[in-house]
């Protein structure tokens, strides 16, 4: 179909939205159900209604705007409006507003489609409230009350008060799946959050796999003591256990699981003073792989490594799961659709995996998903320095537009 997005309109939308929750550093702070997010939600509702799309919000606060018939399997596109603290203006927002622009254009051009289309903004993709992907997990029925309570942060007001500010409850979140339509396919446009496309000057990344990950909170426990009296050879220093494990785990993944990731990003040493031998070292432990089998093998190898370190150093290793997502392989028909439409438009494209998780990964449990990556400058995201080239966004949105028409026809 001879049709293209209106870049100026899309650009204006992105600039307007980025003013909501704007930080002095030029970034955006818009955690779900915070003041800025509530304002952004009202803004999106207005945009959806102005475009003549049918607005709907489900019990998890996911926002939808529909074009086309009210029944049948829906072709969806979108992403999320929420951001990390002092994040960028494209992560999430670009996917929602590109989808909005596509639906707006399809409606204006009165394109006849056999399936309904929906733009969607999922709640709390960044996991500021209860862990990543609250909205898409609720939408797809992959969430129970225990998950919500376990994940709820201990900082700030109680979760139910935060939800009340958006007229939601834990029950309404758990009820979102029951209200959900059947989904024909879900396509998400997103900035790459890595350098590959930018370095190679390729405007369209066709995501073929999304990495699954384990978030664990772990500890080595040893024995504290006075740093001036306990001889080095008698210490059960929990931090040295962690140091040993961190290096061995990284070497193990680099050598035997090339392409997988392991990260220790947060560390707390106890009792935590200059002159105490650490009796306990708590740490976040994250590992990722794009293959289910590899992720399983990786888990086994890493935990066996941790136990070896603990037993050789007189420590105890403990670990609990905080969050977990499954690796996803994008179906061939979606890869092909994105590739074909990019080719037809004359845009160069490229298959690549996604290290970060996305709502598409959660949607994969119930439907065929696809992701269109556009380059972000120097791969920077989650930062006020997050930047794109507008022509790349235009190309990405045009591919999304054609793919949505193709899937809904």
Task: Give the residues lining the site for its own copies (CB under 8 A).
Answer: 192-194, 211, 213, 215, 225-233, 237, 239-240, 242-244, 246-247, 250, 253-254, 259, 261-269, 271-278, 281, 284, 286, 288, 322-323, 354-357, 379, 381-382
Least distance CB 124 / its own copies (angstroms)? 15
- Choose between 56 and 248: whose C-beta lies nearer to its own copies: 248
CB of 328 to its own copies, least distance (A): 13
User: 45 phi and psi, to 5 degrees?
Assistant: -60, -45
Spatial contact of 126 and 220, defined as CB atoms under 8 Å apart: no
Least Å distance, CB 264 to its own copies, is 6
Q: Using CA atoms, how far apart are residues 335 and 203, in angstroms rounded to an integer? A: 16
Pick between residue 139 and residue 215 the one whose CB is nearest to its own copies: 215
Shortest Cβ distance from residue 41 to its own copies (Å)? 25
User: Nearest distance from residue 235's CB to its own copies, in Å?
Assistant: 9
Output 185 or 211, the one with its CB closest to its own copies.
211
User: Helix (H, G, I), strand (E, B), or coil: what is residue 391?
Assistant: helix
Q: Which of 186, 190, 167 is nearest to 57 (CA)?
A: 167
Q: Containing H/E element for 219?
A: strand 212-221
**Least distance between its own copies and beta carbon 118 (Å):** 27
Nearer to its own copies, 57 or 381 (CB): 381
Q: Which among 247, 365, 357, 265 has a CA at the least distance from the CA of 308?
A: 247
Q: How far is the CB of 246 from its own copies (least distance, A)?
A: 4
169 vs 284 by CB, closer to its own copies:
284
Among 8, 116, 104, residue whose Cα is nearest residue 52: 104
Of 19, 29, 119, give the one whose Cα is nearest residue 68: 119
- Closest distance of CB 367 from its own copies, Å: 23
Cβ proximity to its own copies: between 72 and 379 the closer is 379
Closest CA to 58 of 153, 122, 130, 125: 122
In order of 69, 121, 168, the CA distances from 114 in angstroms are: 8, 23, 33
For its own copies, which is the closer residue by CB, 74 or 210? 210
Q: Which is nearer to its own copies, 3 or 243 (CB)?
A: 243
Q: Which residues sit opposite 213 in a β-bridge?
A: 288, 325
Q: Taking the CB of residue 70, how many other CB atoms lie within 10 A of it?
A: 9
Question: What's the CA gap between 379 and 377, in Å, rounded?
Answer: 5
Determine the distance from the C-alpha atom of residue 4 to the mean position of all C-alpha atoms in its chain, rounded to a whole number: 28
């Amino acid at each position: 179909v001879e049709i293209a997005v209106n870049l100026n309109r899309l650009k204006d939308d992105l600039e307007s939205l980025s003013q909501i929750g704007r930080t002095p550093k030029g970034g955006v702070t818009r955690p779900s159900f915070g003041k800025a997010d509530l304002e952004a939600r009202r803004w999106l509702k207005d945009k959806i209604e102005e475009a003549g799309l049918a607005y709907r919000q489900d019990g998890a606060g996911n926002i939808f705007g529909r074009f086309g018939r009210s029944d049948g399997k829906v072709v969806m596109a979108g992403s999320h409006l929420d951001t990390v603290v002092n994040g960028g203006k494209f992560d999430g927002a670009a996917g929602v507003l590109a989808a909005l622009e596509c639906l707006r254009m399809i409606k204006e051009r009165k394109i006849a489609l056999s399936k309904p289309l929906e733009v969607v903004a999922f709640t709390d993709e960044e996991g500021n409230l209860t862990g990543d992907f609250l909205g898409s997990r609720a939408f797809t029925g992959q969430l129970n009350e225990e998950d919500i309570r376990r994940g709820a942060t201990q900082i700030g007001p109680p979760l139910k008060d935060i939800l009340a500010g958006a007229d939601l409850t834990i029950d309404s979140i758990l009820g979102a799946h029951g209200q959900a339509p059947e989904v024909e396919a879900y396509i998400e446009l997103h900035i790459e959050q890595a350098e590959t496309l930018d370095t190679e000057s390729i405007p369209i990344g066709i995501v073929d796999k999304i990495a699954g990950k384990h978030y664990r909170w772990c500890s080595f426990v040893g024995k504290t003591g006075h740093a001036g009296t306990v001889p080095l050879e008698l210490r059960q220093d929990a931090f040295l256990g962690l140091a040993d494990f961190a290096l061995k785990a990284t070497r193990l993944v680099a050598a035997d699981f090339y392409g997988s990731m392991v990260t220790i990003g947060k560390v707390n040493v106890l009792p935590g003073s200059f002159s105490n031998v650490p009796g306990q070292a708590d740490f976040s432990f994250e590992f990722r792989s794009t293959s289910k089998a590899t992720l399983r093998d990786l888990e086994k190898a890493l935990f066996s490594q941790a136990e070896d370190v603990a037993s050789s150093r007189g420590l105890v290793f403990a670990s609990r799961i905080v969050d977990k997502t499954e690796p996803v392989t994008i179906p061939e028909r979606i890869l092909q659709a994105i590739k074909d439409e990019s080719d037809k438009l004359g845009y160069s494209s490229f298959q690549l995996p996604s290290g970060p998780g996305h709502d598409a990964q959660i949607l994969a449990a119930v439907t065929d998903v696809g992701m269109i990556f556009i380059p972000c400058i120097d791969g920077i995201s989650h930062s006020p320095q997050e930047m794109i080239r507008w022509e790349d966004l235009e190309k990405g949105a045009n591919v999304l537009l054609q793919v949505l028409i193709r899937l809904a026809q």
